[in-house]
């Protein structure tokens, strides 16, 4: 549930606010729930608030997993 999207922090406005970029669209959001985020971090934005952060390595790993699995079509069931 709950529409939320990953967006990159492009500027910190004050302790509680930042500007994020999503595909060229910029919006001011509240970052009070994600203390310590920095410019270029990707946060997950929900109702105008960052509620979490994207772990870039994990994301890459997940994508690699997708690719790997689908690249081995002949090997049958997982695991």
Partner 1 sequence: MKYISEFRDGDLARQMAEALAREVQPERRYNFMEFCGGHTHAISRYGIAELLPPQVRMIHGPGCPVCVLPIGRVDQAIALALERGVMLCTYGDVMRVPASQSLSLMKAKARGADVRMVYSAADALKLAQDNPLREVVFLAIGFETTTPPTALVIREAARAQVKNFSVLANHVLTPAAVTHILNSPEVAQWGTVPLDGFVGPAHVSIVIGSAPYVPFAVGYRKPVVIAGFEPLDVMQAIRMLVAQVNEGRAEVENEFTRAVTPEGNRAAQAVVAEVFEHRESFEWRGLGVVPDSALRIRPAYAAFDAELKFDLTYTPVPDHKQCECGAILRGVKRPTDCKLFGTVCTPENPMGSCMVSSEGACAAHYSYGRFRDIPMVVETVAS
Partner 2 sequence: MSIKKDYIRPLDFKNGRVDMNHGAGGRASAQLISELFARAFDNEFLRQGDDGARMPALPTGHELVMATDGHVISPLFFPGGDIGSLAVHGTVNDVAMMGATPLYLSASFILEEGFALADLQRIVHSMAAAARAAGVPVVTGDTKVVEQGKGDGVFISTTGVGAVPAGRRLSGSLAQVGDVILVSGTMGEHGVAVLSKRESLEFETAIESDSAALHTLVAALLAAVPEGAVRTLRDPTRGGLATTLNEIARQSSVGMMLEESAIPILPQVDAACELLGLDPLYMANEGKLIAVVDAAHAEAALAALQAHERGKAAARIGVVTEDPHRFVQMNTAFGGRRVVDWLSGEPLPRIC
Residues that bind partner 1 (CB under 8 A): 1-6, 8, 22-23, 30, 32-35, 42, 44, 46-49, 51-56, 58-59, 61-63, 65-67, 69-71, 73, 76-79
Q: What is the DSSP letter of 74?
A: G
Q: Which residues bind partner 2 (CB under 8 A)?
A: 1-3, 5, 7, 22-27, 45-47
Q: What SS3 state is found at 9? A: strand
Q: Which is nearer to partner 2, 4 or 53 (CB)?
A: 4
Contacting residues for 12 by C-beta, under 8 A, at least 6 apart: 18, 31, 38, 39
Nearest distance from C-beta of residue 26 to partner 1, angstroms: 13
Count other C-beta atoms under 10 Å from residue 37's C-beta. 18
């Amino acid at each position: 549930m709950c529409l939320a999207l990953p967006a990159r922090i492009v500027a910190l406005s004050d302790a509680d606010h930042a500007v994020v970029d999503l595909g060229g669209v910029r919006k001011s959001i509240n970052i009070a729930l994600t203390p310590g985020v920095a410019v270029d971090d990707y946060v997950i934005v929900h109702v105008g608030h960052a509620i979490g952060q994207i772990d870039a390595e994990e994301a890459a790993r997940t994508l690699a997993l997708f690719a790997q699995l689908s690249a081995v079509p002949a090997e049958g069931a997982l695991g």
